[in-house]
Every structure is written in structure tokens, then in C-alpha cells.
Amino acid sequence: MSAQAARVSAWTRSVHGWRGFLGWWRAGLMAWLPPRLRQALAGGDRLLLQVDGDGVRVQAATAGGVRELALLPLPLDGESDPLARLLREDVAEWPRWLLLPARLGLRRPLLLPAAARDRLREVLAFEIERQTPFAAGEALHDGRLLQVQPDGRLQVELVVLPRRDYQAALARLGGAAGSLAGLDLVDAAGTPLGVNLLPPAQRRRARDPWRGWNLALAGLALLALLFGMAQLLDNRRAAAAALQADMARREAQAHAVAAQRQHLLDAVEGGAWLRAQRNGRPSAVEVMDALAQRLPDGTYLEKLAIDGDQLTLIGLSNQAAALVGKLEGAPQWSAPALSGALQQDPRTRMDRFTLVAQLRRQVPPDAAPATPAGGAP
């Protein structure tokens, strides 16, 4: 029997351990959510401390409704928190709301302009001394919106509770009150009015035990993010530098190819120009053949020179004065003329002459050849 009890005890401790771990895991996840979303997912879990005569009712308000947990006699121990011993640790950490009877406070209906909706609590603070017998510093107040009139004005209710009644209730609750998150009044039916009479500065904020760890993890994540972004930036810079180097290499290759292409074009164009120049005038063979047909007997050439478009003939002839007429009319040249005076050679008794002419452009292939004007060679 003792062994079975030990196994049951061990199983119970294991269940509680897993429940604590799951609760810690859920609390950690919920801490990352915004307050409104966290409250909506949590169902608005809170502890209600309702003072009822000589006792206080401890109720749990969840999304499923309000459930009574305990009824404790007043006054409670002022030093320790009795709820921490009666409730589970997670339930004892819920926000605590103090509910007092509505007969302890005053409720006044008011009609306010629409502009007061965004700062309703501050506006109602100026109405305390006019609507109640209390001074502004002697009472706790809040308001709730009842209806919006067709003309836009607001029908609200001012709820005021004397501070002395609130302090007296805190003294009776002792350590159970702790740090309250809210203070509300309940009507005769036990329904809360839906206000929070505590000043915002006195409301307990839920303390996150993992806040330090969460901040450290957030800082670590931020550092990791910054390091990743810096690494990504370095990678992009390295890729940009490699791309620029590749572009410079390709640009040098492109310049070399362009230079070679230009050199080739220049060579081709130069060759074409030379061919055009060569094909645009008669060849040396054609010139010598035409000269052989036109020069008369007794004429000897010592030199035949073609310099560009100029034909130069130097030689001896016994008919030197008639050479110009013999050479006129040839299709290969034009404007033949003697250059300088005729000089008689003492050995051969012939005249030495120098004759120049301008070479003509190449005639079309289908042009008829010119008829020789002189005699046979």
C-alpha cells in the first residue's frame, strides 16, 4: 500500500510539474502580445474581492463567468496575504479588483458635449465639487458612458466614492488587498457598475517575472539582426566590388576588340581606297601599250614615270616637235605637252625631249576603245 501511495504521489508531482511548465510557457508567450490582445486571449481573468458585511467574498471572474472561491471573515491579517495560501500560484497572481456596495458612493447623471468623450475622466474631475458634497481631493471618481444623444452630446454617469470608505475597506482587507488593479461598485443585485475608481497611477500593473529575460533575449535578437544585416551589407559590397572588377575587365576587353575592329575597318577601307585609286586610272601596261601604238618610228624612251595622275616621258626623237600631236586624243591620258626646250643630242643628232600628260580616269568597261590617231609603230 505504501508503494502505491508513493507512485500516486510521484505521479501527482509530475502532473504539477508539467502544469507549472505549461503555465510558464503560456505566460511567456502571452507576455509578447499587446495588453489588449493579451487580455482578450486571457478572457479577462481577475480576482474580485467583494466586501459583504463582516466578510469578503473571493470570486474568480473568467470568460466563462464569475465563480465564488471562498468567503473569508473580516478583518483579515494585515501582514500576510491569505489568498496566497488558499489559491494556486497562477490564480493568486491575477489582477485583484475591490468591489464595494454602491450605497457607499454617489452617482450623478450628466449631459456633456461630444468633445469630452476622449477625456471623460479629466472632464468629470471638474464636476465633483459641483455635483457632490465632496472636494476633488476627498473622493475617488470615474464615469461611464450611458448614451449618445442624436445631437452628439453624451449622457454619462459620474460615480464618486469617498476616500475614507476606500481606506477603511483596505484596512479591513489587510494583506489580501495587495496592490489593487481596480475599484468598482456593485448594485443591490451584485452587478458591478463597470467603472474603475482608482486613479491610473495607483492601479497595479501586472508584473512579468520574465521581463528581464525577455528584454535580454530581445536585445540578443536585435544584435543578431544587426549582425545579419551588417553581414548581408558586406556580402552585397563584396558582390558589387566583384561585379565592378568584372565590368572593368570586360570593358578593357571591349576596348581591345573595338580597337582591333577599328584597325580592321581602317585596313579594309584603306585597301578599298587603294583599289579604287588603282582601278580609277589606267594601268601601266595599258599606258605602255598606247604609247607603243602612238609614238612614231625614230623615237626612243629613256624614262617613263607615272607619279599619281601625271605621266612623264623622257627620250630622244627625230620628230620631237610632232610628239604632242601624236599623243593627243588617247583615252589613257589628256593634255600632253612638252616640258622645257628641246635639246639636240650631239651623238645621235636627235632632239632630247621631256613630255608630260595627265592620266584619265578609267573608262567604263562597255566604252568603245579609242582609235589611234597616229601611225603604226
Give me the mean pLDDT over the 197-216 stretch: 76
Give the pLDDT confidence score for residue 376 in this predicted structure: 38
Cell of 254: 571591349
Tell which residue, 282, 286, 328, 290, has the closest CA to residue 309. 282
Tell which residue, 126, 147, 145, has the closest CA to residue 193. 145
The whole-angstrom separation of Cα 341 and Cα 325 is 17
Q: Looking at the predicted structure, is the pLDDT value of residue 98 above 80?
A: yes
| Domain topology for 29-205 | Nucleotidyltransferase; domain 5 (3.30.420)
Check: CB of residue 111 under 8 Å from CB of residue 154.
yes
User: CATH 3.30.420 residue ranges in the chain?
Assistant: 29-205
Query: Rounded to whole angstroms, what are the CA distances from 167 to 57, 181, 366?
Result: 18, 15, 132
Q: Looking at the predicted structure, is the pLDDT value of residue 104 above 80?
A: yes
Q: Looking at the predicted structure, is the pLDDT value of residue 271 above 70?
A: yes
- Give me the CATH code for the 284-359 domain, please: 3.30.1360.100
Name the one residue in this structure whose C-alpha cell is 466586501: 51
The whole-angstrom separation of Cα 26 and Cα 32 is 10
Q: Looking at the predicted structure, is the pLDDT value of residue 1 above 70?
A: no
Q: Looking at the predicted structure, is the pLDDT value of residue 15 above 50?
A: no
The whole-angstrom separation of Cα 231 and Cα 227 is 6
> Residue type for 352, please?
R
Task: Tell me the per-residue pLDDT of 167-196, one tens digit each, with 9 for 90 and over.
Answer: 888 887 776 666 788 888 888 787 888 888
Taking residue 317's Cβ as centre, other Cβ atoms within 10 Å add up to 23
Task: Tell me the per-residue pLDDT of 43-92, one tens digit each, with 9 for 90 and over.
Answer: 467 888 887 777 788 888 887 778 888 788 877 765 567 777 777 777 77
Check: CB of residue 98 under 8 Å from CB of residue 195.
no
User: CATH 3.30.1360.100 residue ranges in the chain?
Assistant: 284-359
Give the pLDDT confidence score for residue 240 in this predicted structure: 94
Helix (H), strand (E), coil (C) string for 215-272: HHHHHHHHHHHHHHHHHHHHHHHHHHHHHHHHHHHHHHHHHHHHHHHHHHHHHHHHHH
Tell which residue, 170, 184, 167, has the closest CA to residue 59. 184
